[in-house]
Structure 1
Amino acid sequence: MRKIGLAGCNGRMGRVITQMAAARDDMKIVAGFELVPNKLADYPVYADVMEYQGEMDVLVDFSAASALDHHIAYCVERRIPILVAATGHSEEQLAALREASSKIPVFKTANLSLGVAVLDDLVRRATRLLGADFDIEVLERHHNQKLDAPSGTAMSLARSIQEELPFEAELVYDRHERRAKRPQKEIGMHAMRGGTIVGEHEVMYAGVNETISISHSAQSREVFAAGALHAVKFLADREPGMYDMRALVAAVQ
């Protein structure tokens, strides 16, 4: 049985993962971590990950970005794989994750949905076929409580597009003060916030007399929780290195 530590256990995603893990017999959450350690489940909750000295196979991090450095240090010291699914990290933190991956398995993703992993693959293919002749825009919609914009998933999709284009493309977040025609070598980024939208992502390819859109809509946070538990099983026995949803999807094919 896999033993999971869950950082951000009392947040939206933490509560869903707790519920789904409790229904399984191949994994168990052994400890939760929150700045205010209110106990909402049947496992102990600590304010500091360093307080937990029991066994752990994987640390799942859905906490605030500011906690990542502390979690990396803990996992490297104890040689525990870490799954980072939160967003909003700095370049320095991402560099620290890459450095840690030389010592432990690190799984970093902006979105744990298997459907979004397929979306990324389709977007890469479409960009290779259409990118030279079509304008590309990335649109995302989320609930009104989300802090970062554009979403981490939208940024990840944009990076995938940039990697497949035959030219360097600038990410453009605001055209409000621009008085110019749209150049081809840019990717428009659009973030919408409202209500309780779980998460919607769309990539639009606009050409001459035709438009193609590829999209994904999450109807429940359970899709992300299910992906997290898939990733826990995937990560537990891996060698040190950087892993993501593309590696997970490739492993299950």
Structure 2
Amino acid sequence: MRSTDDPIRISLYAPEGRMGRAIRDAIDADAGFEWDQDRGDVLIDFSAPDGLRGSLDRAISGGIPLLVGTTSLDEGHDSLIADAARTVPMLKAANTSLGVALLTDLVERAARVLGPDAWDIEIVEAHHKKKADAPSGTALHLGLAVERGRGFDAEEELGRCGTGLTREAGSIGYAAIRGGTVAGDHDVMFLGPDERLILSHRAENRSIFAKGALAAARFLVGKPAGLYSMRDVIDAA
């Protein structure tokens, strides 16, 4: 049994991926963690949707918590995660930045206060040119925060193009920008009569996601089986 003074051992499902390497660098810089592929206290998966079943099987067989940071998951993947959460602690995060976790909370509050009648919402995100999915998982996650704040599901308006377009009341517009080496920019724009509120986050370096993943791993140690989120992490801070 590990002592509370022992470093938290992290196993990575995809250690050679971009996020895997970033997390390994973060582990090297933090004496509270060590990388141990065979005897991890927490398993972290930032691989791809088709790798999810393998990481779930590994977490369940080892009886250890799993942090899933993979994006582009569908309802079938969500069902697998929910099933696994009955056996082991699970944390699913479209973005492990602590700043984005706080942004998500602020977006939900703003959507609740401002309401849908007079305020339109547009979510604009920018990422590096190699990112294969759009809108980003974080943008869609922020859209869900809007829906929670408003209390109803919203229509999505994706990548508008053409003429004679009309904006549906209560919808959420998404725009994606791809280019260069952008780590991740997100703007949630509340556009009202004669005023605008813009809530923004800028990721300067991939290391912020790695540090947030380690904060989430620390949170998961010792937790009972269940499905957790980054909001649980910041609420516990």
Whether TM-score is above 0.5 comes out as yes
Q: Which stretches of structure 1, 4 residues or longer, exceed 4 Å deviation after superposition?
A: none
Q: What displacement does 1:177 show?
A: 4.5
Distance 1:233 1:2 in 2: 7
C-alpha contact 2:11 2:39 (8 A) present in aligned 1: no
* 1:11 alignment partner, one of 17, 21, 33: 17
The superposition leaves residues 163-208 of structure 1 with CA deviations (integer Å, 9 ceiling, x where unpaired) of 2115542011133256342121210011110100000000001111
Higher relative contact order (CA 8 A, sep 6+): 2
Distance 1:178 1:234 in 2: 49
Amino acid at match of 2:108: R
| Number of the residue aligned with 2:168 | 183
| Number of the residue aligned with 1:22 | 28
Give yes or no for the alignment of 1:59 onto 2:59. no
C-alpha contact 1:8 1:64 (8 A) present in aligned 2: no
C-alpha contact 1:173 1:190 (8 A) present in aligned 2: yes
Distance 1:190 1:169 in 2: 16
| Number of the residue aligned with 2:70 | 86
* 2:61 alignment partner, one of 77, 90, 94: 77
| Number of the residue aligned with 1:226 | 211
| Number of the residue aligned with 1:100 | 84
Distance 1:173 1:216 in 2: 21
Amino acid at match of 1:211: R
Identify if the C-alpha distance between structure 1 residues 178 and 95 changes in structure 2 by more than 3 Å, giving closer, same or farther: farther
Q: What displacement does 1:64 show?
A: 1.7
The aligned runs of 1:1-253 (5 Å cut-off) are 1-31=7-37, 54-132=38-116, 133-177=118-162, 179-252=164-237
Identity %: 40
Report SS of the residue matched to 2:36.
strand
Gaps of 5+ in 2: 1-6
C-alpha contact 1:167 1:185 (8 A) present in aligned 2: no
Report the TM-score when normalising by structure 1: 0.87
Distance 2:24 2:108 in 1: 33
Question: What value does the CA root-mean-square deviation take over the aligned residues?
Answer: 1.3
Identify if the C-alpha distance between structure 1 residues 246 and 178 changes in structure 2 by more than 3 Å, giving closer, same or farther: farther
Gaps of 5+ in 1: 32-53
Distance 1:71 1:112 in 2: 18
| Number of the residue aligned with 1:37 | none
> How many residues get paired?
230
Q: What displacement does 1:157 show?
A: 0.3
